[in-house]
Amino acid sequence: MHKILVSGCLNGRPIRFNSTNVPVSSMIWDRWAAEGRLVSFCPELAAGFPVPRPPAEMIDSTAHVVLAGHGRVEEDNGSDVTEAFVEGARLALERAVAEGCVMAVLTDGSPSCGTTYVYDGTFSGGTSEGMGVSAQLLHDHGLPVFPENQIEDADKFLRSLADEIEA
């Protein structure tokens, strides 16, 4: 059975920086859960961040630049948390590989898990196109990543894998 790495906050756990979760209301999600496909993982918790924690954003950078060692992630209080975000990404990839995950469904906007956008580093609520550090590392290692609002697309991808096996 194909497994799916999912952001821990999508599974109902109040583990985001502000002690909330991101509820997912989808029959597809419910089916995946019933089938035992979901591998819940939070890169930030795995890297040792507490709940709650200060918000963090990539500063004048992209996930590619952060992973290359030239960018930074900071909390809104100015603390540099780049190394922890990179470690969380490494642990997410390690978990996905260990569990045999074929894709990931992640929380968009997060500096770890964003798949289509992240907050722009100004702590003003502005966003920019791009991926979070963990999403980028997973993607760079060939794991398709989807935001939580594209579950139908993720399910189509999953079904295409099943079709390939049957062919």
The Cβ-side half-sphere exposure at 141, using a 13 Å CA radius, reads 18
Dump pLDDT digits (tens) for 86-123: 999 999 999 999 999 999 999 999 999 999 999 999 99
What confidence score (pLDDT) does residue 164 get? Answer: 66
Query: Which pTM does this prediction carry?
Result: 0.95
pLDDT mean over 154-166: 83
Residue 17 reports pLDDT greater than 50: yes
Dump pLDDT digits (tens) for 32-63: 999 999 999 999 999 999 999 999 999 999 99
Dump pLDDT digits (tens) for 71-84: 999 999 999 999 99
Confidence grade of residue 167 (pLDDT, cut at 50, 70, 90): very low
Name the percent of the chain in helix, strand, coil, to the closest 5: 40, 20, 40
What confidence score (pLDDT) does residue 162 get? Answer: 75
pLDDT mean over 127-141: 98
pLDDT mean over 150-165: 89
Domain borders along the chain are 3-166
What confidence score (pLDDT) does residue 126 get? Answer: 97
d(CA 159, CA 167): 12
d(CA 140, CA 117): 16
